Chain A
Amino acid sequence: MLEILPLILVFPLAGMLLNAVFSRWMDETWIAIFACGASGTAFVIAILQAIALSGNHFHVETVLIADWITIGNLHLPWQMRVDTLSLTMMMLVTGVGTLIHIYAVGYMRGDPRFARFFIYLNLFITMMLVLVAADNYLMLFVGWEGVGLCSYLLIGFWYDKGDNGVGNARAGRKAFVVNRVGDMGFLIAMFLMFGAVGSLNFDDVLYFFEHNGVEVAGLATVVTLLLLVGAVGKSAQIPLFVWLPDAMAGPTPVSALIHAATMVTAGIYIIARSAPIFALAPVSQTTVALVGASTAFMAGTIAVTQWDIKRVLAYSTISQLGFMVAAVGLGGYVAGMFHLITHAFFKALLFLAAGSVIHGVEHGGHHTHDHCDAQDMRNMGGLRHRMRITFWVYLVGAVSLAGVFPFSGFWSKDEILADAWNVGVVQGHWHGVAVYVLLVLAAILTAFYMTRQIVMVFFGEPRSSAAEQAIENPPVMTTPLIVLAVLSVVGGALNLPGWHTLGHWLEHTHHFFHGLDFNLGVALGSTVFALLSIWIGTLVYYRRPLENATAPDQLEGVLGPVFRFLYCKWHVDELYSKTIMALYEWKARFLAFQVDWYFWHDFVHEQLIASAFRGVTVVLSGPVDKGVINPFFDGMAQLVRTFATRVLRPLQTGYVRNYALGVMLGVIIVLGMIFVNEGM
């Protein structure tokens, strides 16, 4: 049964190729059937694998597809790994992916690049599966780069839109370049691992670190910090989070699939996968936890101030990824993976529902010729009457994200907070306390900004004619929303306190993975904080709704410059452009003008090489060619001509007797030679 695992890659790949080759002869229905079918089949295979693995007593299996690199001791095959961790990710990617495929059929209808969108989406599913199913770090890196490529392609999918017609393309480029910074860390980590272990296979590497223990703690610290750099890039943590908000330029299903549910969680996956190495490096673990917690808090503060419905969700995603990173940093791998799964459900739901809102408002805008920004929450309001299904599923996603009992977000977030409490208060580590405080603050902010968003979008009176005329979307879009809403409600059942289903399931992969007991105090605390925050949110935004589309935020009057500072995203983009980018541009300018143009081009090429070359050619063409070679051949020709006119010409007298004399002399010579040779 486990041998059919490679099919999980084959189907999305086949779907991609089919659409790539035949899409021009097919209408949208068939393209959609192929794409969704490919993704859905992969999901079925993932489920079958899970059944097979549990029937196999959770024995870790590897499936060899092909040899890849074999040089000396280096042996890197295309080999897939079936364990509970990789299967969890596979089921998540294909399951949520399929729902988003179906939704995208409705969302992308009528787009001139409909087929291309699904080709990219299927390629993404393939690459993400390569990433999570890999059995060695290099194959994982192939998937890692593959999803990065798909992310780039899909952020810039509407490459002719955005600011000045290049905004989306620039957003794609930004995501790509920022991710390369993280990839550099990942690559160096791989080099170090290979240098020390001589293999990149998970089993070999992890065995090496577990076996040698504290002897290689220094190496483990360096490797894990470099892996963290990679994870920080992919999972949009401080300091590399700046690409994710801009990535919202892509179509909304892409934001849901790649930039919320799956790709950005690759960083958490890699940390969980490398758990035994992290266990040797307390410094790295502390760093990971603090990076995650600070990101969670910082992104939360920014999300409170944004107007763009997708940007709020983007910062919320960064914040929730921070929760997960903090969890795995504290050793709460189960909590991190649990939150990863529930977050995939409710954040995919929120993004898709936001896409539904945008779609509906855009439709209303077409109807009334009111072409306002359909993503700006100031142009919305009162949509709960016009888009009932979207409203209810959005509400479910929001309360789940806010961590209200008994929605899935409550259970997973609470487990992370319990982990932080455990490390900080029970074990008495200072960083645990810091992480706990930051995460609680972030959780409060989460509940607040989701309340703000719900109220602004769905309550009050419509603030634009587009919102007045917004309509609900067709079932192809709302059905996946309802499925995801159900998952968001019941997702917590995966790892309920007492049962720890997910914890026991993941324990089979690493013994580090174990759940934590329910902490009633922490749970009560976070629930009270969440409810309090929602109550404050309703006080601020529901009691005094925005009056019109240009009114300032209610908080802006209270907080003033602080609000504007948060609205400008802590000026991180400006900071980067003033420091790193300015330095980089100065360096590029220096290299381009001083080094390349003035030194290499003007001095070395023009003055040294070109002028030396010119000098040589002048000598060659003047004295050598004209002075020696040319006269020599001219002289030869002259010689031949002189010989012909002076010697050969007079011989041709035209008199018959002269020729006859020649003949006779010839005969005499021939006869003479015969006599000399024969006769003597």
Chain B
Amino acid sequence: MIPTTYYLALSAILFSIGVIGVLVRRNAIVIFMSIELMLNSANLAFVAFAREFGTLDGQLMVFFVMTVAAAEVAVGLALIVAIFRSKASIDVDAVNLLKG
């Protein structure tokens, strides 16, 4: 059986990739995908722990995360459409009205 550590290491790698993606990319769609990557790396960690401890709590939490992610996608894509309509771009650096 593959040790739980491996799953957690993969989860950490995926999460870090997601974080770096959010921080360095400018395309809103890509940032969005990176966020999905982070959520799913967390899901992987939940499932790995659930298997390790033999409980269903982690499995259950994954479904919550998926639900939240689905809702987030709906809101996030709507935001991106709205940004595109006003700026004719989905570059997040174009949205910098809060600059001091």
A656 to B99, CA, bound (A): 10
Name B93's closest neighbour in chain A (CB-CB). Answer: A655
Chain A residues with CB below 8 A from B97, complex form = 654
Interface of A is mostly: helix
Interface string of B56-100 (1 = CB under 8 A from A): 000000000000000000000000000000000000110111111
The answer to whether B92 and A656 touch across the interface, beta carbons within 8 angstroms, is yes
B24 part of interface (Cβ distance < 8 Å): yes
Min CB–CB distance B88 → chain A (angstroms): 18
Residue in A654, A657, A660 whose CB lies within 8 Å of B98? A654
B8 part of interface (Cβ distance < 8 Å): no
Within 8 A of B (CB), among A647-678: 648-657, 660-661, 664
Chain A residues with CB below 8 A from B100, complex form = 648-654
Known A-B contacts A652-B98, A654-B100; A664 and B92 likewise in contact (beta carbons under 8 Å): no
B12 part of interface (Cβ distance < 8 Å): no
The answer to whether B23 and A661 touch across the interface, beta carbons within 8 angstroms, is yes
Chain B residues with CB below 8 A from A651, complex form = 100
B19 part of interface (Cβ distance < 8 Å): yes
Within 8 A of B (CB), among A604-660: 648-657, 660
A184 to B97, CA, bound (A): 93
Chain A residues with CB below 8 A from B95, complex form = 656
Chain A residues with CB below 8 A from B99, complex form = 652-655
Name A644's closest neighbour in chain B (CB-CB). Answer: B100
The answer to whether A660 and B96 touch across the interface, beta carbons within 8 angstroms, is no
A657 to B30, CA, bound (A): 13
A657 to B96, CA, bound (A): 11
Q: Say which size band chain B's interface belongs to.
A: 10 to 19
Chain B residues with CB below 8 A from A653, complex form = 96, 99-100
Known A-B contacts A651-B100, A652-B99, A654-B100; A660 and B22 likewise in contact (beta carbons under 8 Å): yes
A310 to B93, CA, bound (A): 115
A652 to B98, CA, bound (A): 7
Q: Say which size band chain A's interface belongs to.
A: 10 to 19
Min CB–CB distance A661 → chain B (angstroms): 6
A621 to B54, CA, bound (A): 81
A664 to B23, CA, bound (A): 10
Name B22's closest neighbour in chain A (CB-CB). Answer: A660
Chain B residues with CB below 8 A from A648, complex form = 100
A651 to B26, CA, bound (A): 19
Name A659's closest neighbour in chain B (CB-CB). Answer: B98
Name B92's closest neighbour in chain A (CB-CB). Answer: A656
Chain B residues with CB below 8 A from A649, complex form = 100
Which of A649, A655, A656 gathers most chain B CB within 10 Å? A656
Name A657's closest neighbour in chain B (CB-CB). Answer: B23
Known A-B contacts A649-B100, A650-B100; A655 and B92 likewise in contact (beta carbons under 8 Å): yes
A654 to B98, CA, bound (A): 5
Chain A residues with CB below 8 A from B96, complex form = 653-655
A653 to B100, CA, bound (A): 6
The answer to whether A660 and B23 touch across the interface, beta carbons within 8 angstroms, is yes
Residue in A652, A654, A655, A657 whose CB lies within 8 Å of B22? A657
The answer to whether B92 and A657 touch across the interface, beta carbons within 8 angstroms, is yes
Name B96's closest neighbour in chain A (CB-CB). Answer: A654
A584 to B98, CA, bound (A): 88
Residue numbers of A with Cβ under 8 A of B are 648-657, 660-661, 664
18 A-B Cβ contacts within 8 A? A648-B100, A649-B100, A650-B100, A652-B99, A652-B100, A653-B100, A654-B96, A654-B98, A654-B99, A655-B92, A655-B93, A656-B92, A657-B23, A657-B24, A657-B92, A660-B22, A660-B23, A664-B23
Closest 3 CB pairs of A and B: A652-B100, A654-B99, A654-B96
Given A649-B100, A660-B22, 6 additional A-B pairs, CB 8 A: A654-B96, A655-B96, A656-B95, A657-B23, A657-B92, A664-B19
